[in-house]
């Protein structure tokens, strides 16, 4: 799930990336990775919320398109059903989600 909140005071959008517990399964660690953090699996871990969702929120520049995915336990790659689009990954046979801001 993706929630976008455009900031009025600066050219940024507060983006909340989240996954339900079912999507994560038995994984111990899940992160959102993408162009915005150089695909760094440690940069934006998802944390369990009171609602049961796992989420991470960050501010990203508007007027940009970002590619992203989730990675669980550094091995399982997950796409977000709410991505704005999908494009072929340049490093595998999978697709990356696209976020248009």
Counting the structural domains of the chain, the total is: 1
Q: Which of 39-43, 49-53, 65-69 has the lowest mean pLDDT?
A: 49-53
Radius of gyration of the chain (CA): 13
Residue 51 predicted with pLDDT over 90 = no
The domain that holds 41 is classified in CATH as 2.60.40.10
* Cα gap 21→48, rounded to integer Å: 9
The pLDDT assigned to 25 comes to 86
27: which DSSP letter?
Answer: -
Long-range contacts of 3-8 (CB under 8 A, 24+ apart): 4/101, 6/62, 7/59
pLDDT tens readout for residues 64-80: 999 999 999 999 999 99
Q: Which of 24-28, 35-39, 41-45, 76-80 has the lowest mean pLDDT?
A: 24-28
pLDDT tens readout for residues 10-30: 999 999 999 998 998 889 999
Domain range enclosing 71: 2-100
């Amino acid at each position: 799930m993706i929630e976008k909140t455009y900031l009025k005071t600066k050219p940024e959008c507060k983006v909340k990336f989240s996954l339900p517990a079912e999507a994560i399964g038995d994984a111990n660690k899940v992160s959102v990775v993408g162009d915005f953090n150089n695909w760094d699996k440690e940069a934006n871990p998802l944390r369990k919320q009171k609602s049961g969702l796992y989420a991470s929120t960050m501010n990203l520049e508007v007027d940009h398109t970002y590619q992203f995915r989730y990675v669980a336990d550094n091995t399982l790659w997950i796409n977000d059903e709410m991505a704005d689009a999908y494009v072929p990954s340049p490093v595998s046979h999978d697709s990356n989600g696209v976020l248009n801001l």
